[in-house]
Amino acid sequence: MDYKSAGVDIEAGYRSVELMKKFVKKTSRPEVIGGLGGFSGAFSLKGIKDMEDPVLLSGTDGVGTKIKLAFILDKHDTIGIDCVAMCVNDVACAGGEPLFFLDYIACGKNYPEKIAMIVKGVAEGCSLAGAALIGGETAEHPGLMPEEEYDLAGFCVGVADRKDIIDGSTIKAGDVLVGIASSGVHSNGFSLVRKIFQMNEKSLSRYYTELGCSLGEALLTPTKIYVKALSEVKKAGIRIKGCSHITGGGFYENIPRMLPEGMSAKIKKDSYPVLPIFSLMQSEGRIEEQMMYNTYNMGLGMVLAVSPEDADGVINAVKKAGEEACAIGEVISGNTGVEFC
């Protein structure tokens, strides 16, 4: 009897690490100390010593049941981008610069090539966010998880000077709400998605003219990473008063999180294009409009609150970063949370 016969292949673990090293290396920053394979990841904080009052920001999240689609389509090279996005976007939302990231993969059986593809996506996400992938863990769980399945989660640490933290405290009535476009469903609400559509290869491979691709391709489109866009706004010298990452809970839960007491958001539904995937989901699932906005991002992955005179500057800065943005409404007095008109 040995560990391998019990279901844990140590040699497969070693091979996974070797295969992923080339992807991890691409995410390195000057602050990274040492290489992959140690018991901990080391990251120098020398670069933040000139900040007046440096504050560390952190975020942790997973991919949720979107990962089921990766199993069905046997496509594992983008799900890692989702994992990174869900963490770094939260850090950036508070005004932070993501510094480094760690991932955790739990699997029923370690298939080194599959694990490497997952980490390839994680590394790509880190590169898009400017964060270093300094460590992680792949845990084999025989008997606890089916051999072909895995779960993925991550953890990000970032930094901001306290004076630059975005906390919503200065938001006032009349401030403009600017929405930044999403790439699709991102990584939330997939438990409902899996009820709307049949989750099999045939269904997910069906081409939809309105989507311009197959259903599976549309649903697996990676979550947008907004670090660069928010960084460009900061470089333009514009102060973001409030920032909301539109994740689980959609507009109704997430936008009020950035608003001070006594303030609400008034959003014009026709101010931006709702992506075709959401219209398809609403139609196929016969879902009420309010539930759609209470579950999904509906085409906007990030909503910012800025002074009226800064709105155009924000939109231009976001476009400079390669993303689309537009004014979608304003902040009003009241405690209703979110109003649509």
Model confidence at 21, pLDDT cuts 50, 70, 90, reads confident
Model confidence at 279, pLDDT cuts 50, 70, 90, reads very high
Model confidence at 267, pLDDT cuts 50, 70, 90, reads very high
Q: How buried is 337 (Cβ within 10 angstroms: 0-12 exposed, 13-18 middle, 19+ buried)?
A: middle
Supply the pLDDT for residue 24: 77
> Model confidence over 74-122: pLDDT tens digits?
999 999 999 999 999 999 999 999 999 999 999 999 998 999 999 999 9
Supply the pLDDT for residue 317: 97
> Model confidence over 146-171: pLDDT tens digits?
999 999 999 999 999 999 999 999 99
* 10-164 to CATH, choices 3.40.50.300, 3.30.300.20, 3.30.465.10, 3.30.1330.10: 3.30.1330.10
User: In b/e form, how buried is each residue of 274-297, taking b as 16+ CB within 10 angstroms?
Assistant: bbbbbebbbeeeebeeeebbbbbb
Fold that domain 176-340 belongs to in CATH: Phosphoribosyl-aminoimidazole Synthetase; Chain A, domain 2 (3.90.650)
Q: Is the pLDDT of residue 66 over 60?
A: yes
User: What are the CB-based long-range contacts (under 8 Å, 24+) for 46-50?
Assistant: 48/159
Q: Give the bridge partners for 230, in sequence order.
A: none
> Model confidence over 226-266: pLDDT tens digits?
999 999 999 999 999 999 999 999 999 999 999 999 999 99
From 329, 327, 299, select the one nearest 312 (Cα to Cα). 327
Q: Residues of CATH 3.30.1330.10 domain(s) within the chain?
A: 10-164
Model confidence at 14, pLDDT cuts 50, 70, 90, reads low
Supply the pLDDT for residue 42: 85
> Model confidence over 132-148: pLDDT tens digits?
999 999 999 998 999 99
Q: Residues of CATH 3.90.650.10 domain(s) within the chain?
A: 176-340
Supply the pLDDT for residue 9: 59
Half-sphere exposure of 302 toward its Cβ, with a 13 Å CA cutoff?
A: 30
Q: How many CB atoms lie within 10 A of CB 333?
A: 10
Residues 6+ apart with CB under 8 A from 120: 20, 23, 77, 80
Q: Distance between CA 263 and CA 242 in Å, rounded?
A: 12
